[in-house]
Amino acid sequence: MGKQYVIDEMGLAESWRLFRILGEFVEGVEELHDLGPAVSIFGSARLKPTDLYYQKTVEIAGMLAENGFAIITGGGGGIMEAANKGAAEKKGRSVGLNIKLPMEQEPNPYSNIKIEFNYFFVRKVMFVKYAMAYVVMPGGFGTLDEMFEAVTLIQTHRVKPFPVILFGSEYWTGLVEWIKARLLAEHMISLDDLDIIKITDDPMDVLRAVKKVAAWIE
């Protein structure tokens, strides 16, 4: 009897977890379904306002906002803060998809649409679903996870072939060279898959790529 009670209690807890997951999906869709053309910007939470990539992120987000694109970030500090700040300074729509973490992730004050998540996978769906391009600034494991999520969905034709732009050749070239030397050379990916990823150091390249996609969608 006691064992059955424990099993039933565990099953009930799992059922409630499913409802919480569904609730996060519903909230995200309701908040973002009329967002309009948007760009997701990924990058480290640890970079400071004095860092070059923080400053470049402010510039890129501001340029995109001036051209009518909303900005979507993880809502925290570092690159996320810089992107939301750049959009806010240009009076653009600035989305922060914050995740509850035991460290690092405090919501920044610059997003004007704020959604909080408990589940990484729900949050990643929102990053991909509502963006028409993905700008990847230097970052750590979380940034790589978000980047490769977008790349995999494009590679497998689960989403449209939107650009994945890696900003900072000094930071990203080694990774791309490794992909060529290992994944491509050992036939783990095809040559065409390399076209998914672009590297640049020029904010104007980012804007041009996004505007090209916008024109193609129209």
**34-80: per-residue pLDDT in tens?**
999 999 999 999 999 999 999 999 999 999 999 999 999 999 999 99
Kindly report the backbone phi and psi dihedral angles of residue 134, in degrees, each rounded to the nearest multiple of 5, phi listed first: -130, 120
Q: Residue 200: in which H helix or E strand, if any?
A: strand 197-200
Q: In what order do the strands lie in the sheet with 94-99?
A: 113-117, 94-99, 70-73, 38-42, 134-136, 164-167, 197-200
Q: Provide the domain limits for residue 209.
A: 2-217
Name the token pair of 180: 């060529």
Q: How many domains does the chain have?
A: 1
Q: What are the C-alpha distances in Å from 166 to residues 31, 103, 104, 137?
A: 28, 26, 23, 6
Which of 7-11, 15-19, 38-42, 117-121 holds the top average pLDDT? 38-42
Mean pLDDT on 185-198? 97
Q: For residue 36, what is the domain's CATH number?
A: 3.40.50.450
